[in-house]
């Protein structure tokens, strides 16, 4: 299989190849990349193609069963039909100066997956001093070994208590608002199980919902993410273990979401 890197999209000679960002496609990923670029200068981004909806549903059916998976799909459709979501999201973007547009100064390399041979070839060629990770598939051992550099992830939750998906929602839904926040951590082979570098709690407006929590969190996380990357470049990373119970969470079902919203006011 040919694993030679493809031509660069949006290439610029100013990109800092000492920093590579592994991410997926989407508005939140662009916010994170743009926020890091504003703080650290132009970056090289390796962006994976989104996983197909059918593949996601099949995996959730295996893990959680068909009824639970169907409830998660139903919630996704319901949120897209909510007219208030777009209005609140626009306000969040404006309040926190979050930019979702592609930055022409950012070098973007497209790969089918962060665990593909092509991605590993890009990493080996670029030989970055640090790899920043956001919103990708779980990194396999071979990808983590592709380059001798720390992999640093931004997770939109407080680990290890809220690993997995929709962590801020679950913290609020379980009455644990003080642990609704963000974590910057080293990447290992687990799901958000790496040693913590920085954490911060996040407060949300009453109008925020599961559809906007992560945008508010991104604004809080970006300074910490940039700081951790600078720490790695300066060889001053200080990982630590957090004494909290560990649990992996999945998106709520439509009926569970409605029940929590009506009884606890968490949407």
Domain ranges in the chain? Answer: 16-264
The pair of structure tokens assigned to 61 is 């059916």
Residues 185, 197 contacting (CB under 8 angstroms): yes
* Residue 59, φ and ψ in degrees, nearest 5: -65, -40
Angle at CA 76, nearest 5°, toward 28 and 93? 30
Smallest CA-to-CA distance from 229 within 101, 9, 46, 43 is with 43
How does pLDDT run along the chain (267 residues), one tens digit per residue?
333 333 334 433 344 459 999 999 899 999 999 999 999 998 999 999 988 888 888 989 998 999 999 999 999 999 988 888 888 999 999 999 999 999 888 989 999 999 999 999 999 999 999 999 999 999 999 999 999 999 999 999 999 999 999 999 999 999 999 999 999 999 999 999 999 999 999 999 999 999 999 999 999 999 999 999 999 999 999 999 999 999 999 999 999 999 999 999 999
pLDDT of residue 52: 84
Query: Strands across the sheet with 151-155, in order?
Result: 107-111, 43-48, 16-24, 130-134, 151-155, 181-186, 196-201
Smallest CA-to-CA distance from 178 within 161, 197, 195 is with 161
d(CA 222, CA 21) in angstroms, rounded, equals: 13
> Beta-carbon neighbour count of residue 180 at 10 Å?
25
> Beta-carbon neighbour count of residue 26 at 10 Å?
13
Residues 43, 37 contacting (CB under 8 angstroms): yes
Residues 185, 213 contacting (CB under 8 angstroms): no
The pair of structure tokens assigned to 28 is 């939140």
Residue 134 β-bridge partners: 23
**Sequence-separated (6 or more) residues with CB below 8 Å from residue 7:** none
DSSP single-letter state for residue 177: G
How are beta strands 43-48 and 16-24 bridged, if at all? parallel
Q: 16-264, which class in CATH?
A: alpha beta
d(CA 14, CA 7) in angstroms, rounded, equals: 16
- pTM for the model: 0.90
């Amino acid at each position: 299989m040919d694993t030679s890197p493809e031509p660069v999209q949006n290439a610029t000679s100013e990109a800092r190849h000492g920093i590579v960002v592994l991410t997926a496609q989407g508005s939140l990923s662009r916010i994170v990349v743009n926020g890091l670029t504003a703080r650290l200068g132009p970056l090289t981004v390796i962006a994976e193609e989104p996983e197909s909806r059918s593949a996601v549903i099949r995996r959730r059916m295996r893990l959680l069963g068909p009824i639970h998976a169907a409830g998660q799909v139903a919630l996704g459709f319901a949120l897209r039909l909510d007219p208030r979501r777009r209005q609140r999201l626009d306000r969040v973007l404006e309040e926190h100066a979050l930019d979702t547009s592609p930055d022409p100064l950012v070098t973007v390399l497209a790969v089918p997956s962060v665990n593909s041979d092509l991605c590993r070839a890009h990493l080996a060629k670029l030989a970055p001093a640090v790899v920043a990770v956001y919103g990708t598939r779980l990194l396999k051992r071979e990808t983590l070994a592709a380059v001798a550099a720390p992999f640093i992830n931004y997770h939109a939750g407080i680990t290890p208590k809220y690993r997995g998906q929709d962590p801020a929602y679950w913290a609020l839904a379980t009455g644990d608002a003080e642990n609704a926040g963000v974590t910057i951590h080293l990447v290992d082979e687990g799901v958000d199980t790496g040693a913590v570098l920085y954490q911060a709690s996040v407060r949300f407006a009453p109008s925020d919902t599961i559809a906007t929590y992560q945008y508010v969190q991104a604004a809080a996380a970006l300074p910490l993410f940039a700081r951790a990357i600078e720490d790695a470049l300066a060889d001053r990373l200080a990982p630590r273990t957090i004494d909290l119970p560990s649990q992996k969470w999945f998106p709520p079902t439509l009926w569970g979401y409605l029940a929590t919203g009506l009884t606890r006011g968490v949407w």
